[in-house]
Amino acid sequence: MVFGICQKTKMDWIHFIRSNSHYPHLELFANNYTDDSFMFDHDYLEQVRAESIENNLTLSIHAIQGINLGEKVERIHKVSRDIVYETLVCGEEIGAKWVTVHLGSAGLSNIDKNKKYKRLDLAINALEEILSATSNMKINIAIENLVRLPPNYGKSRLFDCVEEFEYIFNKLNSERLKVIFDIGHARISSKETENDMSMFIQEIYKHICAYHVHWNNGFEDTHSPLNNESIKEIARFKHFIADDQPLLFECYEQRENEISMKLLNELMIQTR
Ligand SMILES: [Zn+2]
């Protein structure tokens, strides 16, 4: 197992790299997306690249939250697509391996399957356009599985279950399209769909480029640290996790990530 960490603070990237260099992979967060942000400053990005090489780190970027590739209002859809494109350009410049993307949400329940799939089609179109506009780049797009909301909620997230994974990857099969498998989100989705998390992973593990690691009570996406219950769950699919698929801790507090890491290290020793 290779570990990494997701930036959950508004720290600038170089500061974050310097303060966390004991993890071999860092997922940077594009939290300041404005014209004058460091994301568009070439000298700064060159420095980020140099720091990562010097510290022997691999990098990825988490695109800003709030974009919606499945949005039906055309202008919002296009802005979302362009932001993902620009984040890929930035990621390529710093030598990042992928950009993590939330596909977005729809103002309709999961019961309304046909309408939901139309929104997924919009997201697939946007991904196709982004992949084709960046075809000269090495960087991948990693779509993240999101929390599945209850049927009475009147809202749903795009790519919140294994069926939606199949729908997307049947329509769009690119070497550069990957999955970030978020274990905490999958826990909530598996409660909602009554599908087992290990089965979800068994279906998609070849497309996974990394895992987001956090836990919850099965209902609220609290980004809590792992506990004994979650370790039992992870033990069931541990054999699918390869060294080129880092486990990225995604709690808000550093000491919570340390708790998760300690439990995973113990699991490795026990099952060696
Ligand atoms: Zn995540």
pLDDT value at residue 199: 86
CA distance linking residue 188 with residue 194, whole number of Å: 10
Q: 144: CA distance to ligand 1 center in Å? A: 7
What is the distance in angstroms between the CA of the first residue and the CA of the last residue of the chain? 11
Each domain of the chain, given as residue ranges in start order, spans 3-270
User: What does the pLDDT look like over 23-81, one tens digit per residue?
Assistant: 999 999 998 788 888 999 999 999 999 999 999 999 999 999 899 999 999 999 999 99
Return the bridge partners of 177, or none. 141
Q: 182: CA distance to ligand 1 center in Å? A: 5
Q: 235: CA distance to ligand 1 center in Å? A: 20
Cα–Cα nearest to 200, from 231, 169, 160, 227: 160
Q: 161: CA distance to ligand 1 center in Å? A: 14
Q: Average pLDDT for residues 82-108, to the nearest whole number?
A: 97
Q: 250: CA distance to ligand 1 center in Å? A: 7
Q: 137: CA distance to ligand 1 center in Å? A: 24
CATH architecture of the domain with residue range 3-270 = Alpha-Beta Barrel (3.20)
Residues whose Cβ atom is located within 5 A of ion ligand 1: 182, 212
User: What does the pLDDT look like over 181-237, one tens digit per residue?
Assistant: 999 999 999 988 888 888 889 889 999 999 999 999 999 999 999 999 999 999 999
pLDDT value at residue 9: 86
Q: Average pLDDT for residues 5-32, to the nearest whole number?
A: 90
Higher pLDDT, 89 or 111: 89
Cα–Cα nearest to 58, from 107, 111, 109, 94: 94
Q: 13: CA distance to ligand 1 center in Å? A: 18
pLDDT value at residue 21: 63
pLDDT value at residue 193: 84
HSE (side-chain half, CA atoms, 13 Å) at 271: 15
Which residues, including other chains, have CB under 8 Å from residue 15's CB and lie 6 or more apart? Answer: none
- 143 token code pair: 């779509």
DSSP string for the chain = --EEEE--S---HHHHHHH-TTSSEEEEE----STTSGGG-HHHHHHHHHHHHHTT-EEEEEPPTT--TT-SSHHHHHHHHHHHHHHHHHHHHHT-SEEEE---EESS-TT-HHHHHHHHHHHHHHHHHHHHHTTT---EEEEEP-PPPPGGGS-EESS-SHHHHHHHHHH---TTEEEEEEHHHHHHHHHHH---HHHHHHHHGGGEEEEEE-B-SSSS---BPP-HHHHHHHHHHGGG--TTS-EEE--SSHHHHHHHHHHHHHHHHHT-
Q: 141: CA distance to ligand 1 center in Å? A: 14
Q: 12: CA distance to ligand 1 center in Å? A: 20
